[in-house]
A and B are shown apart, each in its own frame.
Chain A
Amino acid sequence: MARPGWAPIGIALLLLSLAAAVLLRPAEDGLLQLANPRGERVAEVEQLFDSLPTDRALVLVGMDPDLGTYPEIRPATRAAFDDLLRRGARLAFVSYSAEGRAIAAAEMRRLLDDGALPGAVLDLGFVSGSEAGMVRSVTEILPSAAEGPLSEAIRAGGGGMTAFSLGVVVGGTEMNARSWVEQVGTRVPELPLLAIGPTFLQPELQPYLRSGQLAGLLATARDDAGYVAAVVDADPRVGPSVLEQPPSAAALLIGMLLALVVILVSLLRRTPDSGVAATDR
């Protein structure tokens, strides 16, 4: 496979440098905005959180994002955790995928480092068996060795998913809110589910929101940015030190130009007779 010529490499380098330069600008410069001015999804999420019991609500976090898509939903996920902890909720993390388990462990450590009360966060660990494991968790989610007030509260609620007031599903390509709707939603219909997923899952998850099987959905960069802004607006003390800023819209735009250049170069290098890229032969 031949190396690409210097011209496309130069353009790609230039655009990458431009994207990097844009990232150096302060976020509040407002070069371009991602936040969704309509905020329907954001209002749904806030309404859902407002409906939680005010006395230390138990929230189950199904943490199954994958490393390839988590950076996109990380700001909204962290904003949701922060929002829930600020409202006095207690979070119990469970994972059904190995990648999700790694990210859950890192996020729990970050929450505790950031000052979350140890009694407000519980690690339910990794459950093997994918959807079969999820079904078992419906009635038995607590590890036998689990101790502490949060574990006792779950045990008092039956030891399964019925003990929780809300399920927050942070999904990726392997396990996402569809599995939760199909396996948990049919068995524990009284547990409202909020889904946070990458943009490409939006067409798959949107019908569940319309049918009422999901109580909330954050699955586009615009909705995520709108939600992060709403959380920061609600409590200015919570800012960039705790919450991560959403990705820069200007850098995304330059990234799109970069993608277009790559596509154009690829098209120009195709030979008219075979339709196979010259570099691939």
Chain B
Amino acid sequence: MSGFAGDAPLDLAATWIAAAVTLVVLAYLFGERRLFRHAQHLLAGLATGYLVVIAMREVLVPRLIEPLATDPGGNVLLWAAAALVMALAAARWLPRSVVALPVAVLIAGTAAFALGGAVAGTLLPQLAASVLPADAPLIDLANGVLAMVITALVLVSFLHGIPRGRLVGGAAGVGRLLVLGGIGGWLGFLIVSRLVLLVDRLSFLINDWLRVSG
């Protein structure tokens, strides 16, 4: 049992609706595409509606509108935030130069946090962790050398637009195979995840909906 729905009438209705939509989606496997498309539209509509509710209930009202209504002079920055939100909401009717400001703030802020985090939280610590002490076990040294060789070959495979000799061309070919191997390995992980979803859906139909084993 997924444990999300109980025995209350609303829970039972939710389980029946979920089971019906699950069957419609599984029907795609057997060539039924019309109902599947309706299920896709339903998902898109519900997701959009849910996002609107979340934005209003948990962000805009408690963190912007209410503070401005109760204490208009308390936080001047909130007025600037409100102006940016309104500019984005009315982007269709405003000049491009006006809309560019909130979009620039949004993109620049996101990029700055992502880049700063990637350098300080991933690149530098991972570089530090890959440096081995002189007395490291032989297996760790071998692993480190192997990782260095693979990294170099993969980087060489991305060299485009410059003349390459036989040696560099061969290394690039091996690098490309390594990239394909890496993608294949990752797809293997992905397919295990997706199979668990299939099993979970079957389990939902049997246990939560039909209650055959429970």
Contact = CB atoms under 8 A, between A and B. Distances in A.
Interface in A95-113: 98, 101-102, 106, 110, 113
Contacts of A9: 29-31
Interface string B16-59: 00000000001001110100000000000000001100110011
A239 interface: no
B103 interface: no
A101 B53 CA distance: 12
B109 A132 contact: yes
A72 B197 contact: yes
Nearest to B31: A3
Contacts of A135: 113
A106 B4 contact: yes
A126 interface: yes
Contact of A71 (B51, B55, B196): B196
Contact of B195 (A113, A179, A202, A259): A259
B158 interface: no
B8 to A, nearest CB: 11
A139 interface: no
A207 interface: yes
Interface size range of chain A in the complex: 35 or more
A71 B129 contact: no
Contacts of B213: 23-24, 26
Contact of B117 (A145, A182, A247): A182
**Residue among B2, B110, B192 having the largest count of chain A Cβ atoms under 10 Å:** B192
Q: Max chain A CB contacts within 10 Å: which of B4, B121, B129, B213?
A: B121
A199 B117 CA distance: 24
Contact of A131 (B4, B117, B200, B207): B117
Contacts of B29: 9, 12, 16
Contacts of B129: 207, 210-212
Nearest to A101: B54
Interface range on chain B (Cβ under 8 Å from partner)? 35 or more
A13 interface: yes
A97 to B, nearest CB: 10
A213 interface: yes
Interface string B58-73: 1100110000000000
A16 B23 CA distance: 12
Contacts of B31: 3-4, 9
B189 interface: yes
B151 interface: no
A83 to B, nearest CB: 16
Given A71-B197, A102-B50, A126-B59, A113 B121 contact: no
Interface stretch (A39-47, A156-164, A248-256): A248-256
26 contacts: A3-B31, A12-B29, A13-B30, A20-B205, A72-B200, A113-B6, A130-B110, A131-B114, A131-B117, A132-B109, A143-B62, A182-B121, A183-B113, A186-B121, A198-B193, A200-B193, A203-B185, A203-B186, A211-B125, A247-B196, A252-B196, A252-B199, A255-B199, A256-B191, A259-B191, A259-B195
Given A200-B192, A252-B195, 12 more contacts: A16-B202, A23-B199, A26-B213, A72-B193, A72-B200, A101-B58, A132-B109, A132-B113, A181-B122, A200-B189, A221-B196, A252-B196
Interface of A: 1, 3-4, 9, 12-13, 16, 19-20, 23-24, 26, 68-69, 71-72, 74, 78, 98, 101-102, 106, 110, 113, 125-126, 128, 130-132, 135, 143, 145, 178-179, 181-183, 185-186, 198-200, 202-203, 207, 210-213, 220-221, 244, 247-248, 251-252, 255-256, 258-259
